[in-house]
Chains A and B, each alone.
Chain A
Amino acid sequence: MFRKLVIANRGEIAVRIARTCRDLGISTVAVYSDADRDGLHVRFADEARRIGPAPSTESYLNMNALLEAARDAGADALHPGYGFLAENAEFARRCQEQGLVFVGPTPDGLALMGDKAAARRIARDTGVPIVPGSEAVSSDQHAIREARRIGFPLLVKAVSGGGGKGMRTVSSPSELLGALRQARSEASSSFGDSAVYLERYLHSPRHIEFQIMADGEGSVIHLLERECSIQRRHQKLIEECPSPRLDPDLRYRMAEAAVAVARAASYRNAGTVEFLLDNEGNFYFLEMNARLQVEHPVTEMVVGLDLVKLQLRIAAGGRLPVSQEEIRPRGWAMEFRIAAEDPFRDFLPCPGRIDFLRPAGGPGVRDDSGVFAGGEVTPHYDPLIAKLIVWGEDRADCLARAERALREYRVEGISTTLPFFRRVLRDPQFRAGEMDVGYIDRNWRGWAAESETISLEKERDRAAIIAAAVSAYRAGSSRRRRIAPPADRSAWVRAGLEEQHGSRR
């Protein structure tokens, strides 16, 4: 096993990796930009090195700085986490050249899967269905030609993309050039590669992905699927394992396809094969993510394995310690991505200081967080601050625990996605496992505009009135505060909600 490992990332995933390293007795080296000196990952590692100024192009994407930090620290391995350089073949190659083990696929494997068009070819040649689309488009003219062939609506996607960045939906020809421009610019700033391709847009499919583990010695196993249909602008917000949609037969066929793609690519280490599933049960290969996914903990909870540990074992040259038959799924898990975004302002990122933080706890609850009370969420990076993962014996049990945990979780100082999750948990469709990638677009606008109609008899409503009045009082200097619900301006309600205080003597 490794002696000392560089974690070439930040935030919750750097913390996550550091934890497993401590479990295994591997010494860790955190890297940080100027914006992250106070990051939690710095404190959770054994060593820490500055790699540059705040912009990620000069720090977390700065290969020279990272490689130098590894050399200086005398590290023998590097874990890239997700995002940043996690799927960069050149970086993996340069690690290899300086004798640093890159915890992930081989450089060739990364190059292959990183080229989404090549990955599609592999799937097609393996007999796995793919969504109709183009190769990388070389010019606007080429894109227009391909778009005509594929038809609208379609998606513009970054060849080196992931996490929804550099992706745009185009519903008509007039939007194509604008979307190309935006996708290229976003792809270039996120991945350093502006190449994009086009793909047919399927109407309201589910997004279902399979976790793969391969040792590069011929052993390829899958660790079930994850249902990731609750997404907004291609960014996942809730994931669960298993998927409420798959029956054993469909699961078997999709898993076989996922394993076949990984095998055909001679894949090594952890990877995820993404599919779209239409409402008739047809599935299409979307892409293979050659990295540890943000949502890997739901898989860990259900299969009872530490995926980072498996990654490290494989990278250290070991064979897969488990066989497919030994994978015994148990129960149900969900993940809620707590991001510094305001769901009531179109999920606008809202960096700032976290004044108060009380994560959820108790049976079946896991908090993978990268922040702490008093810490600052910087505007420089991804707004994800924590992942709440909940496990239950079955989906109903998991839902109940999720509701309980979401009720407990408190973040103050910044807006987060927590109120969004609380609302989704009350939705009968979600509770019934009915969802597709259009779920948020269809529902959230209406839900975000909801507010309770106040009944003076209901205790919860009166508690809300008291809370509002007390907070307004505490925040202000004058003795009298009046509040009223904005919807109803009748004199009666205004008078009804008036509150008064005695003097502070």
Chain B
Amino acid sequence: MGEKDGSLRVHLAGEPLAFDLGGHRTGGVSIILGGRSFEAQVSLEERRITVEVDGRRYLFERSDVPEVGAARRPQGDAEVLAPMPGKVIKLLVLPGEEVRANQGVVLFEAMKMQNEIRSPLAGRLVAIAVREGQAVESRDRLFTVKGEPGEK
């Protein structure tokens, strides 16, 4: 039972699956199933699991993790975070101004490339958490957009 002999039990549609699991925890998951050898690359996010096998991509959602993020915030607001460490080059919109969905708000430089960080929705820019020239870490808050009801 359990993992002591290096195997876990997985039930699929109520039926246990017969498979053999490799013990290594890095370098992908090795699975022998019906005599065939698979190597799966798994990336775990909070809710989402992405699996690549033989160059094919599978998406799963974890239903045992309570939903966070979107649900916690008032509807129609968006908090935009830095996608990676980098530097704020320029603020393209001022706080209080209206933004269209997909409009660039912050010009961001990371790894020598400049990208516009865009507003995910139409509304009003209610807060900017960064200054021009500021270095930011991944997932630092950049700005908040308050969605305008009735606007799309």
Residue ranges of A at the interface with B (Cβ–Cβ < 8 Å): 56, 165, 182, 185-186, 189-190, 340, 344-345, 348-351, 355-356, 358, 379-383, 403, 406-407, 410, 412, 415, 419, 422-423, 425-426, 450-452, 454, 456, 459-476, 478, 480-487, 494-505
Task: Collect the chain A residues with CB atoms within 8 Å of residue B54's CB.
Answer: 407, 460
Determine if B113 and A349 form an interchain contact, defined as CB atoms under 8 angstroms apart.
yes
Other-chain contact of B2, A456, A495, A502 (Cβ < 8 Å)? A502
Determine if A356 and B2 form an interchain contact, defined as CB atoms under 8 angstroms apart.
no
Other-chain contact of B86, A379, A496, A498 (Cβ < 8 Å)? A379
A497 to B51 alpha-carbon distance, docked (Å): 14
- Interface centre among B17, B36, B86, by most A CB within 10 Å? B17
Determine if A471 and B49 form an interchain contact, defined as CB atoms under 8 angstroms apart.
yes
A286 to B1 alpha-carbon distance, docked (Å): 66
Size category of the binding interface on chain B:
35 or more
Pairs of residues from A and B, 3 with the lowest C-beta to C-beta distance, nearest first? A467-B40, A422-B55, A463-B38
A462 with B12: in contact, given A380-B111, A452-B56 (CB under 8 Å)?
A: yes
Shortest beta-carbon distance, A470 to chain B, in Å? 6
Q: Within 8 Å of chain A (Cβ to Cβ): is B13?
A: yes
Determine if B60 and A468 form an interchain contact, defined as CB atoms under 8 angstroms apart.
yes
Determine if B3 and A356 form an interchain contact, defined as CB atoms under 8 angstroms apart.
no
Name the residue of chain A whose CB is nearest to the CB of B111: A349
Determine if A498 and B58 form an interchain contact, defined as CB atoms under 8 angstroms apart.
no
A499 to B2 alpha-carbon distance, docked (Å): 13
Stretch at the interface among B19-27, B67-75, B121-129: B19-27
Other-chain contact of B60, A382, A484, A501, A504 (Cβ < 8 Å)? A484
Determine if A452 and B57 form an interchain contact, defined as CB atoms under 8 angstroms apart.
yes
**B interface, by DSSP: helix, strand, loop or mixed?**
strand
Determine if B62 and A497 form an interchain contact, defined as CB atoms under 8 angstroms apart.
no
A406 with B111: in contact, given A464-B40, A471-B42 (CB under 8 Å)?
A: no
Determine if A345 and B114 form an interchain contact, defined as CB atoms under 8 angstroms apart.
no
Task: Collect the chain A residues with CB atoms within 8 Å of residue B93's CB.
Answer: none
Determine if A189 and B63 form an interchain contact, defined as CB atoms under 8 angstroms apart.
no
Determine if B59 and A504 form an interchain contact, defined as CB atoms under 8 angstroms apart.
no
Determine if B38 and A460 form an interchain contact, defined as CB atoms under 8 angstroms apart.
yes
Shortest beta-carbon distance, B61 to chain A, in Å? 4
Determine if B63 and A494 form an interchain contact, defined as CB atoms under 8 angstroms apart.
yes
Shortest beta-carbon distance, A261 to chain B, in Å? 29
Determine if B29 and A471 form an interchain contact, defined as CB atoms under 8 angstroms apart.
yes
Shortest beta-carbon distance, A206 to chain B, in Å? 24
Q: Within 8 Å of chain A (Cβ to Cβ): is B94?
A: no
Residue ranges of B at the interface with A (Cβ–Cβ < 8 Å): 1-4, 8-14, 17, 19, 21, 25-29, 31, 33-34, 36, 38, 40-44, 48-64, 83-86, 89, 107, 109-115
Other-chain contact of B17, A381, A462, A484 (Cβ < 8 Å)? A462
Name the residue of chain A whose CB is nearest to the CB of B58: A464
A500 to B1 alpha-carbon distance, docked (Å): 12
A350 to B43 alpha-carbon distance, docked (Å): 14
Determine if A466 and B17 form an interchain contact, defined as CB atoms under 8 angstroms apart.
yes
A450 to B57 alpha-carbon distance, docked (Å): 7
Shortest beta-carbon distance, B8 to chain A, in Å? 6
- Interface centre among A56, A165, A460, by most B CB within 10 Å? A460
Determine if B53 and A483 form an interchain contact, defined as CB atoms under 8 angstroms apart.
no
Determine if A502 and B33 form an interchain contact, defined as CB atoms under 8 angstroms apart.
no
Other-chain contact of B29, A358, A451, A459, A470 (Cβ < 8 Å)? A470
Determine if B2 and A472 form an interchain contact, defined as CB atoms under 8 angstroms apart.
no
A344 to B45 alpha-carbon distance, docked (Å): 14
A165 to B1 alpha-carbon distance, docked (Å): 57
Determine if B109 and A189 form an interchain contact, defined as CB atoms under 8 angstroms apart.
yes
Other-chain contact of B89, A56, A185, A463, A485 (Cβ < 8 Å)? A185
What are 27 contact pairs spanning A and B, CB under 8 A?
A: A186-B113, A186-B114, A348-B84, A349-B111, A355-B26, A379-B110, A403-B55, A415-B43, A451-B58, A451-B59, A454-B58, A459-B34, A459-B38, A462-B17, A463-B31, A465-B10, A466-B21, A466-B40, A467-B51, A468-B60, A470-B8, A497-B60, A499-B12, A501-B2, A502-B2, A503-B1, A505-B2
Task: Collect the chain B residues with CB atoms within 8 Å of residue A451's CB.
Answer: 57-59
